[in-house]
Amino acid sequence: MKAGELTKLAPLSVSAYFLDVDGTLLEIKPRPEDVAADEVLRALLTELAAATGGALGLVSGRKIDDLDRIFTPPMFPAVGLHGAEIRFPDGARLAPPAGAMEAVRLPLARFIAAHPGLRLEDKGAALAVHFRQTPELAGEVLEFLAKLAQNNGLAMQPGKMVAELKQAHHDKGSGIATLLANPPFAGRMPVFIGDDLTDESGFLFVNRQGGISVRAGPAGAATHARYLLRDPPEVRAELSRLLAGL
């Protein structure tokens, strides 16, 4: 994507913007809890939201409460836990059923304990296994989680040095669809910017709607996104150009 191209493809006045967080707006860190938005990014998103009439949403594998920790004071409409959580512009929420992960917590905890270096992130309605510190265990982690998911009616979602167990009927595409069906998103062209395998469902949905899909990352990776930005700084720069182009 050329600098300033997003202004021509998806003007703020007619578009609904959906933005992934880790690896897209902000650089990935070894510990998810260390990620936080600076004042400049918070201000940028606040101005973009105003320019779209409120049609800007965050889309993440994180819990919505964790997104609020990262971005507060502004609190944006959001898709959390890969679509299992939704916060609408009026503050109303859809939440996953309690106990969705109970059947797999114990076997997963035993697996983690038997493999030093792995880290379990319990998100409530999703369970993430981070193997950034032990990349040689990637294959074993993916195989174990795939079997655990299959045996318990769940889905296994791989990502960058992480794999998650989640409810099978939720993904980022379904979350974007839910927000897009409601004002002020409804009737606007969807734009989704993401960076990871977890974002591919969002790219596919936006493409089917005739929208704009943008992947943040190096060229050459297989993706359904139709445009490319190199990294989070380039994403933020392109979003800043949108405001400058008003």
Which tokens in the block code for residue 168? 């099978």
Q: Give me the pLDDT at residue 127, please.
A: 93
Domain ranges in the chain are: 5-95+170-244, 102-167
Residues identified as active-site: 20
Its pTM stands at 0.90
Q: Give me the pLDDT at residue 37, please.
A: 96
DSSP string, the chain: --TTHHHHHS-TTTEEEEEE-BTTTB---SSGGG----HHHHHHHHHHHHHTTT-EEEE-SS-HHHHHHHH-SS---EEEGGGTEEE-TTS-EE-PPTTTTHHHHHHHHHHHHTSTT-EEEE-SS-EEEE-TT-GGGHHHHHHHHHHHHHHTTEEEEEETTEEEEEETT--HHHHHHHHHTSTTTTTSEEEEEE-SGGGHHHHHHHHHTT-EEEEES-TTS--S-SEEE-SHHHHHHHHHHHHHT-
pLDDT tens column, 2-29: 999 999 999 999 999 999 999 999 999 8
- Hey, what CATH topology would domain 102-167 get? Alpha-Beta Plaits (3.30.70)
Asked whether the predicted pLDDT for residue 70 surpasses 90, the reply is: yes
- Hey, what CATH topology would domain 5-95+170-244 get? Rossmann fold (3.40.50)
Q: Give me the pLDDT at residue 181, please.
A: 97
More confident residue, 234 or 246: 234
pLDDT tens column, 83-120: 999 999 999 999 887 688 899 999 999 999 999 999 99
Which tokens in the block code for residue 34? 């260390």
